[in-house]
């Protein structure tokens, strides 16, 4: 059984809006569901997972998927 997946393409977006948009998306999806975020702004690759964790969500994976392209996989916490 796999959880519902949501995608957020944040290519072209910079900090702090990368996290703001990730956070807003996490507020919209259901608890336990998965959000995949695509980033091309390097500082956000550290910033987004750290901020997401501080709000209690689980960061499942942070991986480089291309040149200057990253994927962050987040599981929304059960509130």
Active-site hit among 6, 15, 29, 62:
15
Distance, CA of 58 to CA of 39 (rounded, Å): 18
Minimum distance, C-beta of residue 9 to other proteins, in the bound complex (Å): 9
Is residue 40 within 8 A of residue 66, CB to CB? The reply is no
Distance, CA of 15 to CA of 79 (rounded, Å): 26
Q: Is 71 in the site for other proteins (CB under 8 A)?
A: no
User: Is 15 tagged catalytic?
Assistant: yes
* Sites of contact with other proteins (CB under 8 A): 8, 16-17, 19-21, 23-25, 27-28, 51, 54-55
Residues marked active site are found at 15
């Amino acid at each position: 059984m796999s959880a519902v997946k949501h995608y957020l393409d944040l290519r072209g977006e910079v900090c702090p809006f990368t996290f703001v948009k990730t956070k807003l998306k996490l507020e919209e999806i259901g608890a336990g569901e998965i959000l995949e975020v695509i980033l091309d702004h390097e500082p956000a690759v550290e910033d987004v997972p750290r901020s997401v964790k501080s709000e209690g969500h689980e960061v499942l994976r942070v991986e480089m998927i291309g040149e200057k392209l990253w994927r962050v996989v987040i599981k929304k916490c059960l509130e």
